[in-house]
Amino acid sequence: MTRRQEIVRQLTAHTTGSPKPEAQAFAPANVALCKYWGKRDADLNLPVSSSLSISLGSLGTTTGLRLRQGADHIMADRLELSPDDRFCRRLSAFLDLFRPDADTGFVVETRNSVPTAAGLASSASGYAALVLALNDLFQWQLGREQLSILARLGSGSAARSVYNGFVVWHCGASDSGMDSVAERITGEWPELRVGVVIVAGSEKPIGSREAMARTVASSPFFDRWKAVAEADMHQLREAIGNHDLELLGTTAESNAMAMHALMLASRPPVLYWTGATIDVLQRAWALREDGVPVYCTIDAGPNVKLLFLDEAEARVREAFEEATIVQPFGE
């Protein structure tokens, strides 16, 4: 039995009875304010440091599931995908962990509530929605922390997408990863807004999984990252507790810059930004100079996410007509 199979067995062994005919679940996309970047265990997606995110309310993935005889049948946004597609192969390999027997397949239908081109439809909401749907299909009745462990086996950042609101994913210390769970932290902040600015671009130069491994293996600054992340986690929790946008924004922005600096110094370098990414950053910083409190974060891609409050929304909309603006605490 592999370590992944052993974890699934431990969490689901209590289940009795037969699966439901079908199940469906939704999980939100999330934006990390303190990033997950670097694994201490690539098989179990165990991170070197804890991370903290904000979930994006109704923006995310809805996944429907049922069992069938034969191979998996996977549809994404109403398009049927070839089993040889990279996305399908990864999904089917993950579903192998939950297959009742080798002759049983899953019918999986995923729908993203934002166009994939908006850059928000990531593996995070996808694997989280899938695990929530599996929990319903097989009637495991697992708690969210346990579901975050299963979602993490699909994709690290999916551990955080099993919750709404502000979420901490604890790095944990055990080899089994049973303490590497995500938890929702208290702190409603209805005035908070996230603006997603899409930068037109081509396919990512390198997937985040490979980029992360390369950073750990070759970035000369990687040994500083754990301490940076720990300090940032502390500041972000304080900012959330006090509704302090300046502390939240400056910390999230600096954390993102540090992550990209790590990547730039890797060999060969990893650069996700385009000229348009820098243009967005400079426009946001100019707006800030002009007295509008708006801060930036960037994930493993060229798009920029803006953090600001409702009172700045009109100015942000005016400056970034192309932005999709999200209210993480209710529309």
Measured CA to CA, the distance from residue 281 to residue 254 in angstroms comes to 13
215 binds ligand 2P0 (CB under 6 A): no
Print the binding letters for residues 156-175 with ligand 2P0: x by CB under 6 A, - otherwise.
Answer: xx------------------
Q: Which of 8, 27, 29, 32 binds ligand 2P0 (CB under 6 A)?
A: 32
Query: C-alpha distances in angstroms, 152 versus 17, 147, 157?
Result: 26, 8, 7
Print the binding letters for residues 105-124 with ligand 2P0: x by CB under 6 A, - otherwise.
Answer: ------------------x-
Coarse DSSP helix, strand, coil percentages of the chain, rounded to the nearest 5 percent:
40, 25, 35
208 binds ligand 2P0 (CB under 6 A): yes
Task: Locate the DSSP E strands across the chain.
Answer: 23-34, 39-41, 46-47, 51-69, 73-76, 79-80, 104-112, 166-169, 182-184, 192-197, 295-298, 304-309, 324-326
**Which of helix, strand or coil describes residue 303?**
coil
297 binds ligand 2P0 (CB under 6 A): no
Tokens of 276: 């348009």
Piece of 103-111, 133-141, 155-163, 179-187 that binds ligand 2P0 (CB under 6 A)? 155-163
Q: Which of 135, 148, 155, 215 binds ligand 2P0 (CB under 6 A)?
A: 155
Piece of 21-29, 35-43, 222-230, 322-330 that binds ligand 2P0 (CB under 6 A)? 35-43
Tokens of 202: 């081509």
DSSP letter assigned to residue 33: E
Angle, CA of 70, 26 and 32, to the nearest 5°: 115
35 binds ligand 2P0 (CB under 6 A): yes
Minimum distance of ligand 2P0 from residue 43's CB (angstroms): 11
Q: Which residue is nearest to ligand 2P0 (CB)?
A: 156
Question: Which residues here bind ligand 2P0, judged by CB under 6 A?
Answer: 32, 35-37, 45, 51, 123, 155-157, 208-209, 299-300
